[in-house]
Structures are given as structure tokens and as C-alpha cells.
């Protein structure tokens, strides 16, 4: 029974993370931010709804009685969303970019980078259960 529950949580997370990878995929971080800004500009609530793994992490933390691994997952997902919002604000709203940040945002995204979450998060789910 325990292994079936674990498998269900991991598969659900992989499905949700794959959805996020799909809609955020771009050639550069700036391209990713532009896609995110499209939803953020309509409504921050819509932008937040487009991050289902964040809600998964909240629910999973509660289901595991706030285990350390689940809290690490929630912290990483929260930091990820906060970073995205800060970058969107800086790039598209305030339009304040340093030369170094501009270069970093225009750099190509390595093909493995978007998929790192699929490698990092399932072990945290496993350890939480």
C-alpha cells in the first residue's frame, strides 16, 4: 500500500512539473520570463495558478505532517516562485537591468536545466513518506 501511495504522489508531481516545463520552455531565461510575464500581466493570481507544483508542495507538506523533506520541497518551490516574480518585476515593470543580469538573462538555457526539477524533487517526496 505504501509503495502505491508513493508512486501516485511521484507520478502526480512529475505530471504537474512536466506541465510547468512545457509552458515555460524557451531558448533563454528572458524568454521564459516573457512567457511568465504574459500571465503575470493579466493577473498575479493567474500566474500563481500556472504553478501547480507549488500547491502540490503545500498539500504534500500538510499530508506528511510537515516532514523535513516536504518542507524543503515547499521552501524550494516558494523560493522559485518568489525569484520569478522578482525577476519579472525588475525586467518588465521597473525595467532596471544591470549589464551582467542582461547577459545572464539572454544566455541560452542548457537543455537539461528545465528538467532538473524532475530529478531533484521526487527523492524529496520519497524521503517525506
Residues 67-76: pLDDT tens digits?
Answer: 999 999 999 9
pTM of this structure: 0.90
Q: What percent of the chain has pLDDT over 70?
A: 99
Query: What is the distance between the terminal CA atoms of the chain, rounded to a whole angstrom?
Result: 12
Write the pLDDT tens digit of every residue in 69-109: 999 999 999 999 999 999 999 999 999 888 898 899 999 99
Q: Which helix (H) or strand (E) holds 21?
A: helix 2-24
Alpha carbon separation from 77 to 4, 56, 72, 101, 103 (Å, rounded): 25, 10, 9, 22, 25
Amino acid at each position: 500500500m505504501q509503495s502505491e501511495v508513493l508512486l501516485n504522489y511521484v507520478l502526480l508531481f512529475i505530471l504537474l512539473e512536466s506541465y510547468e516545463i512545457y509552458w515555460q520552455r524557451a531558448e533563454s531565461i528572458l524568454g521564459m520570463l516573457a512567457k511568465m510575464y504574459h500571465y503575470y500581466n493579466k493577473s498575479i493570481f493567474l500566474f500563481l495558478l500556472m504553478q501547480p507544483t507549488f500547491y502540490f508542495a503545500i498539500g504534500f507538506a500538510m499530508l506528511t505532517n510537515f516532514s523535513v523533506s516536504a518542507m524543503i520541497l515547499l521552501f524550494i518551490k516558494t523560493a522559485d516562485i518568489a525569484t520569478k516574480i522578482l525577476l519579472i518585476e525588475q525586467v518588465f515593470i521597473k525595467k532596471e537591468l544591470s549589464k551582467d543580469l542582461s547577459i545572464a538573462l539572454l544566455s541560452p538555457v542548457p537543455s537539461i536545466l528545465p528538467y532538473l526539477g524532475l530529478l531533484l524533487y521526487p527523492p524529496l517526496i520519497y524521503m517525506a513518506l
